[in-house]
Structure 1
Amino acid sequence: MGMEAFYIVVLVSTALVLLAAFSSLLAFRFGAPLLLLFLMIGLAAGVDGLGIEFSNNYLAYILGSIALAIILFDSGFGTPMQAFRLAAVPSLALASVGVLITASLFAFAAMWLLNFTWLEGLLLGSIVASTDAAAVFFLLRIGGINIRDKVRSTLEVESGTNDPMAIFLTIALVEVLASGERYAGINIGMLAMFVQQMGLGVILGLLGGMMIVLIVSKLDTDRGLTPIFVLALALLVFSFTGAVGGSGFLAVYVAGIYAGNRKMQAIGTIKRFQDGMTWLAQIIMFLVLGLLATPSQFPVIIVPAILLALFLIFVARPLAIWLSLLPFDYTQQEIGFVAWVGLRGAVSILLAIMPILGGLENGQIYFNTAFIIVLVSLLLQGWTIKPVAKKLGLIIPPRIGAVDKVEVDLPGAANHELLSYRVIKDSPVLRGERIPRWATPSLVIRDGKSMRYQYAGRLREHDLVYLFIVPSYSRLLDRLFASRAPVDDDDAEFFGAFALSPARPAADLDAAYGPGLLNESEKGLTIAELMRQRLGGKADYADRVRLGSIILIVRDLDEHDHITSVGMSLEAVEPAITLPIFLNLKDIIQRIRDRLNGRRNRETAASESTPKAPVGRDEGTRENGR
């Protein structure tokens, strides 16, 4: 390739990236699925659009894998350990059992619609079984969907951990079908390979995370180089794990979780760099995969592909989610929402390249079908996530309003953080609330002049306040410097019309609104203790507990997750719409008990209402009979 051609390639590539970046402004304004726009730009620029011909499947797979590794590392890096602990077990069940069930159910539909064998259908099911981490993280973290922490954490951890399972199934099935062994190729060796890949992925991921933290903490270099070291080390973990037979994608995600939850120098700089690299990785991955597609081939397969997409969205994914979450304490609404947020994205298209690289007979059919399924998923689910969450009653009002904050990196101070807050209107600190003792205010900038905090007097609007704190406490300061949380008309009564003291005896509620609200063991509890007990031992912001005709709502918690404010509503709350299939195991058992108790009570009532002959008359009859 001559220099002129080289410059043209660079020019076109840069123009596409810029176009994708500018399209994000439209997506934010109109609520369009941003990743769908990236994909459509790639399609429009491809061989059936502007005529850019790109057919190098191997290069596309390499670029997509590297981009996915960067996205997964950032996903893990931004996942708090508390969120991971909150949802680890159910998320891992979804990422393993859920993916397997989804792929297996999908295989039967593929057999019918595409005339595939069951193994070929299982391969296609494995390709589209995992949710896309980029799509889920974008919608939940950037899309303005404010839902409960447990549901958010479940979706984020699931999307970050289900890719290794789908990748393993896809690669293993491609090898089996390419060898011609069919069902004979599925043996104990595949199980051993799975254990090896996942085991090495977790172990080397943890070791890799430790290596990243150790090197960064000992590194004495220019601050701008630190995030480059972190990213390079993350890709080292990814590639080394894959080279020794482990799951590199699982390893890089685990390394991100470990490193992101440890104290490191220049953490603010690393996060900002990671944000930019993740955006670039998403843009490149979707553009390349869009360029790889040939839309003129879609009409041949479009009808069965759309039907398969609908089967995946409305049947296979919901059934797999329900069965996977049966043992866990999720409500019908929460299970329904998790089932709906099963967006397919670049990972499915990336895996659809594998049958082509493996030389399978129907390789292009796999790719085209998976591409259409991704388009349907992004169009149908990507545009309706927020309305569905609202319909199911899972949207909660924001806990705090806007915060004007800047994190300032301190050289050699991983155990301390310097924050700069701008005092804004309606913030608690402006209303006179004191800054806690564990925070050390050092400087106030007012009207362009700097002064020590001790001599600044009462803070004023637009003041800049610099404080030294321990990093893990920053979210507590955010509440002090945040504006009032915006409350929509629909949320005006979300936290109830009345406020109650959480230390008040729960027996007062039974006396005022009962009797019969509480059992004997609950009457000795406080309202906070009663709510925690009814909520399974742990309360979360905006959790609700129904007691007869009243509803108790968690308005706020302290840094130790103790309930500090409780609201009460006397209004009837309409049950959120959901399907009866999404009952968890505890609810199913309870309904069976209620049904049996109801039948027993009816039988008892029937027997009591049956007239019985007097004892004396019976005896007389028996005597006469003798």
Structure 2
Amino acid sequence: MLMTTIILIAALVILLCVTSAKLSNKVNIPYLILFMLVGVLFGSSGLFKIEFNDYKLTENICSIALVFIMFMGGFNTNFAAAKKYVPKALVLSTIGVVSTAFITTGLCMFVLKMKFADAFLIGSVISSTDAASVFNVLRKNNITLKMGTGPILEVESGSNDPAAYLLTLIAVGIKNGTGTGNIPLMVFLQVAVGCAVGFGLSWLTLFLLKKTHLILESQDPMYFTAMVIACYGISGLLSGNAYLSVYIMGIVLGNAHFNSYTSLSHYFEGINSLCEILIFFLIGLLSTPSEIVSILPQALMVAVFITFVSRPVSVFGLMSVFPGRNLRQMTLVSWAGLRGASSCVFAIMAVSMCTEATSDLFHIVFIVSLLSVSIQGALLPPISRALKMDEKPTEE
């Protein structure tokens, strides 16, 4: 009886989220926010009064869901079109993430009077941008950006989660007082093993698919799903950055040629949508409105820090190094740094892994992400037009 009830609730949640995605186009609210609100509706302060505060379980579920979101981010990247913008995007997704984290850390320490460990934890989990949030806004408003800004944002937002994940692990070690002496080794293993496993498993996937003929074409979705999960698992077991591995695998497989490419693309789009629903619903379910009210001033300050100080300083400082810099492009890239699912997942991970962390960290990141997707995301189309960065698809 209990299992039947759980299955019915799961079906109801998915139906509500799917229909709310359609509704979001009519009321002009990002559908990711509606997924969160559905979670709040089912939560302890909502209509269904479900008491849920298991951060460890949520971390495990969301981590797997984020694997497929990361893979799809790489799979959808047209590397041939984005190739000449990759250096700029990778600088933003690595050095940019680190600088954003440290600037936010400094502001939290000096303005909010936080200890370094707490401030760095917040700066780390919130340092990456969210590809799903950015491109949901752009596609919904039929916006094509000039000067290669679209590929820059696509590669940056798709590839900066591994750097934020690494920073989060370091921040957790500092918070717990363990592992800080092995940071250089950790960074090396995360990057080296992550890249090796990503490229290695990609080659193996294509070799088994094309050369051995062991895989029936009708079973390609199951085969690719298994290989993505294996890539994540092997990289994690070898102390590599598992998110970096699956992102690399997504890029390699997404730019390869094989018969079932189109059907696989549709399949993973469906998986990606389900994972987004799952993450944002659980984020909403885990949130507690009464706790949100108590830390709202701090969260608002962090949102202001990262939107108007940390992100702009990082973007302008790093993009100015490259030739052909453009003030309008840098302004738009700065504003398009929306926070979303990955920041909340890393916050959940931090609360689960830290011995002294409280739910305040999660709720601060929850509010920042909510404000970023709603307000910052809503202003992205008019700002892109005001900066004359919106290029219609029919124009050359």
Please report the TM-score for the alignment, with normalisation by the length of structure 2: 0.95
- Contact 2:125–2:164 (Cα < 8 Å) also in 1: yes
- For 1:20-419, what aligned pairs fall within 5 Å after superposition? 20-50=17-47, 51-141=49-139, 143-148=141-146, 150-179=148-177, 186-187=180-181, 189-217=182-210, 218-219=212-213, 221-328=215-322, 329-399=324-394
Q: Which has the larger displacement, 220-229 or 275-284?
A: 220-229
Supply the distance in 2 between the matched residues of 1:90 and 1:62 (Cα, whole angstroms). Answer: 33
Name which one, 1 or 2, has greater alpha-carbon Rg.
1
How has the CA–CA distance of structure 1 residues 266 and 358 changed in structure 2, closer, same or farther, with 3 Å as cutoff?
closer
CA distance in 1, matches of 2:247, 2:139: 17
1:61 corresponds to which letter in structure 2?
E
1:482-538: CA deviations, max 9, x gaps? xxxxxxxxxxxxxxxxxxxxxxxxxxxxxxxxxxxxxxxxxxxxxxxxxxxxxxxxx
Contact 2:175 2:354 in 1 (8 A): no
* Residue identity opposite 1:198 in structure 2: V
The structure-2 alpha-carbon separation of the partners of 1:238 and 1:141, relative to structure 1 and needing over 3 Å to count, comes to farther
Q: Is residue 40–residue 285 contact of structure 2 (8 Å, CA) maintained in 1?
A: yes
Structure having the higher helix fraction is 2
Task: Report if the CA contact (8 A) 2:161-2:243 is conserved.
Answer: yes
Q: Aligned partners of 1:381 and 1:374: how far apart in 2?
A: 10
Tell me how far apart the structure 2 counterparts of residues 358 and 278 of structure 1 sit (CA, whole Å): 26
CA contact (8 A) 2:134 2:377 kept: no
Percent identity over the alignment?
30
Question: Could you list the runs of 5+ residues in structure 1 that have no partner in the other structure?
Answer: 400-541, 543-554, 556-626
Could you tell me how far apart the structure 2 residues matched to 1:11 and 1:200 are? 42
1:313 deviates by 0.6
1:9 matched to 2:3? The reply is no
- Listed one character per residue, the Cα deviations across residues 301-322 of structure 1 (whole Å, up to 9, x for unaligned) are 1012112101211111111111
User: How far apart are 1:148 and its partner, in Å?
Assistant: 2.6
* 8 A contact 1:161–1:250 mirrored in 2: yes
Determine helix, strand or coil for the equivalent of 1:383. helix
Cα deviation for residue 64 of structure 1 reads: 0.8
DSSP-derived class of the 1:131 partner: coil
Counterpart Cα distance in 1 of 2:70 and 2:43: 27
Per-residue deviation, residues 110-157 of structure 1 (Å, max 9, x unmatched):
124543112321111011110013222333445522113611111111
- Return the offset for 1:296: 1.2
1:569-594 CA distance string (max 9 Å, x none): xxxxxxxxxxxxxxxxxxxxxxxxxx
Change beyond 3 A, Cα 1:304–1:113: farther
SS at match of 1:251: helix
TM-score by length of 1: 0.61
Displacement of 1:257 after TM fit? 0.6
Which residue identity is paired with 1:99?
Answer: V
Using a 3 Å threshold, how does the CA distance of structure 1 residues 138 and 209 change in structure 2: closer, same or farther? farther
Distance 2:218 2:132 in 1: 26
Distance 1:223 1:46 in 2: 42
Of 354-363 and 192-201, deviating more is 354-363
2:270 and 2:350 mapped to 1: Cα distance? Answer: 32
Amino acid at match of 1:247: N
Contact 1:241 1:247 in 2 (8 A): yes
Structure 2 letter corresponding to 1:15:
L
- Measured in 2, the distance between the counterparts of 1:303 and 1:57 equals 24
Q: Distance in 1 between matches of 2:368 and 2:168?
A: 17
Q: Which ranges of structure 2 fall in alignment gaps of 5 or more residues? A: none
Deviation at 1:255, TM superposition (A): 0.6
Q: Would you tell me which structure has more strand in proportion to its own residues?
A: 1
Q: Which structure ranks higher in relative contact order (CA pairs < 8 Å, sequence separation ≥ 6)?
A: 2
Q: Distance in 2 between matches of 1:282 and 1:134?
A: 9
Counterpart residue type for residue 267 of structure 1:
Y
CA distance in structure 2 between the partners assigned to 1:8 and 1:157 by the alignment: 42
- Verify the 8 A CA contact 2:332 2:384 in the aligned structure 1: yes
Change (3 A) 1:381 1:120: same
| Alignment deviations for residues 89-124 of structure 1 (CA, whole Å, 9 cap, x no partner) | 111111111111111111122124543112321111
AA aligned to 2:340 is G
SS at match of 1:353: helix
User: For each residue in 1:347-382, what CA deviation from the matched residue of structure 2 results, as whole angstroms up to 9, or x when unmatched?
Assistant: 111111233223443422211111111111112111
| Structure 1 runs (4+) greater than 6 angstroms displaced | none
**CA separation in 1, counterparts of 2:94 and 2:275?**
26
Number of aligned residue pairs: 393
CA distance in 2, matches of 1:140, 1:330: 22
Counterpart AA for 2:275: A
Give, in angstroms, the shift of residue 251 of structure 1. Answer: 0.6
| Letter aligned with residue 316 of structure 2 | W
Q: Check conservation: 2:194, 2:244, Cα contact below 8 A.
A: yes
Q: Counterpart amino acid of 1:70?
A: F
Opposite residue 25 of structure 1, the aligned amino acid is K
